[in-house]
Amino acid sequence: MRRKVCVVVTARPSYSRIKAALKAIQAHPDLELQLVVAASALLERYGSAVRYIEDDGFEIAARVYMVLEGENLASMAKTTGLGVLELATVFDNLKPDVVVTVADRYETLATAVAASYMNIPVAHVQGGEVTGSIDEKVRHAVTKLADLHFVCTEKAAERVVRMGEDPDTVFVTGCPSIDLASEILPDPTLTFDPSKKYGGVGADVDLSGTYLVVMQHPVTTENVQARKHVLETLYAVRDSGLPTLWFWPNVDAGSDGTSGGIRTFREIENPENIRFFKNMAPVDFLRLIYNSRCLVGNSSVGIRECAFLGVPAVNIGSRQSGRDRGQNVIDVGYDRNEIGEAIQRQVGTGRHAADMVYGHGHAGHQIAQLLAEAPLRVEKRLTY
C-alpha cells in the first residue's frame, strides 16, 4: 500500500522551498501526495501562490484559511492557534501516514503541533539552521516535534543531533530550492518581460543591462522598526540609479510597516528606477535572479539560491544572522549609505563561483525516497 504523504504549504517561499520534493513525491510509485495549501499562500495580497501551484499541475487536497488580519505579534500567535484547529480537522479527514512541514514560519509550528498530537509522524525540511528573529525558536521547536529530519547542510545535521534527536532519523538531503535553481542552469536566459507577464506597479525598468532584485521582509523581533528599516533600503536602491525589481514582503508581524513604507515612498518619491511585484512563478523568479547583478534585502534566497547560482547578495540586518553562507554575501546594517556602498561593491564584483553549501540539486528525489523507505514512528528515541 502506498504511503500517504501530506505536505502543507503555507506561504509563497514555502512552495519554492518544497516544489521539487512535491514533484518527486507525486511521481514516486510508493507514495500518494496529499497537498494542503494554507495561510498566506491562498491570499491575493501576498501573491496568491496557490495559482502557481495549480498551474504546475498539483491537485490540492485541502485549503486552510487561517490568517488573521493585523500583521502584528498578536495576530501571528492567533493565526498559529487557528492553524492548529483547522489543520487537525484536515488531518483527521485525510488520515495521512506522514505530514511534511517546511522551514520555520509560525504556520509550520501549527502544522507540527496538530500532527504530533494526532500521533501522525512529522517530517521536517530545513531544520537545524541558525538565524535571527522568532524563526529560530520555531525551527528548533519543530525539530523537537519532528520524527524525520531532512536537513540542508552537515552543520545543520550536527545541530539537530546535538538537540537530542536520533542520528538515524537525520538525513542531509540539501535544500529542495536548489533543485529548481539547477533546472535553469542549462539555459538561464531571461525569456519573458516581467512587467508584461506579471504586471506590477511603478517605473518601467530596462532589464537589458545591469539590474537589481530586492526582497526585504520585516524582522518579527524588530517589528516596530520595519518601516524605518525598509525606508533605508528604498533610499539606497533609488540613489543607486540601477533598474530594480522589488518584491512584496511576507505576512509577518511588521509587514504592515514594511508595505506601508513602500507605498508611501512610491507615492511621495516616485522612484524612476523601481518596479514593485507581489509574486512570480518560482522558475521565472530564479531566471530573474540569475540575470541580475545583485540581490538586496534579507531573504534567505540571497543565502541559498544565490550562492548556488553565483549571484552577489547584500544581506541587510539580523534576519539571516548565523545561517551558513557562501562567499557571495556581504552583510550590512540598516543604513542607506552602508547598503548603497555594498550594492556598488557587489555590482562591480560580478558573478561568483557556484557554492554547493545548500546542496547539489537532488534534494527532492532524496526526500521522496526517504519518505517511502524510512521507518515511521512517533515514539522518539532521543539521545540526551
Q: State whether 43 and 118 are in the same domain.
A: yes
Residue 266 pLDDT exceeds 70:
yes
Find cell 557554492 and name the residue. 355
DSSP-H helix ranges across the chain? 12-27, 49-55, 73-94, 106-117, 135-145, 154-162, 176-184, 194-198, 226-240, 255-269, 282-290, 305-309, 336-349, 363-373
Q: State whether 201 and 155 are in the same domain.
A: no
Residue 381: inside a domain? no
Q: State whether 104 and 226 are in the same domain.
A: no
Residue 383: inside a domain? no
Could you say which DSSP state residue 83 is in? H
Q: State whether 227 and 79 are in the same domain.
A: no
> Which grid cell sits at 68?
488573521
Q: State whether 268 and 321 are in the same domain.
A: yes
Q: State whether 202 and 169 are in the same domain.
A: no
What CATH number does residue 150 fall under?
Answer: 3.40.50.2000
Provide the β-strand partners of residue 204: none
Q: State whether 211 and 324 are in the same domain.
A: yes
Residue 379: inside a domain? no
Neighbours of 113 (CB within 10 A): 21
Residue 357: inside a domain? no
Q: Is 292 helix (H, G, I), strand (E, B) or coil?
A: coil
Residue 355: inside a domain? no
Sign, Cα dihedral of 88, 90, 94, 98? negative
Q: How many helices (H) and strands (E) does the chain have?
A: 14, 14
Residue 237: inside a domain? yes
Q: What is the pTM of this model?
A: 0.93
Residue 121: inside a domain? yes
Q: In whole angstroms, how far apart are CA 40 and each of 63, 129, 141?
A: 11, 23, 22
Q: State whether 163 and 224 are in the same domain.
A: no
pLDDT tens-place string over residues 355-373: 999 999 999 999 999 999 9
Q: State whether 328 and 212 are in the same domain.
A: yes
Show the domain range for 98.
Answer: 3-174+362-373
Q: How many CA atoms lie within 13 A of 134 on its CB side?
A: 18
> Which grid cell sits at 112?
507540527
Q: Is 97 helix (H, G, I), strand (E, B) or coil?
A: coil
Q: Is 298 helix (H, G, I), strand (E, B) or coil?
A: coil
Could you say which DSSP state residue 248 is in? P
pLDDT tens-place string over residues 107-143: 999 999 999 999 999 999 999 999 877 888 999 999 9
Residue 354: inside a domain? no
pLDDT tens-place string over residues 306-349: 999 999 999 999 999 999 999 999 999 999 999 999 999 999 99
Check if the beta carbon of residue 29 is closer than 8 Å to that of residue 372. Answer: no
Q: State whether 191 and 169 are in the same domain.
A: no
String of b and e for 17-33 (b: at least 16 CB within 10 Å)?
Answer: bbbbbbbbbbebeebbb
How far is Cα 248 from Cα 276, in angstroms, rounded to an integer? Answer: 7
Residue 45 pLDDT exceeds 90:
no
Q: State whether 135 and 72 are in the same domain.
A: yes
> Which grid cell sits at 11?
506561504
- What's the pLDDT at 130? 92
How far is Cα 363 from Cα 219, in angstroms, rounded to an integer? Answer: 28
pLDDT tens-place string over residues 192-244: 999 999 999 999 999 999 999 999 999 989 999 999 999 999 999 999 999 99
Q: State whether 318 and 369 are in the same domain.
A: no
How far is Cα 105 from Cα 34, in angstroms, rounded to an integer? Answer: 20
Domains in the chain, number:
2
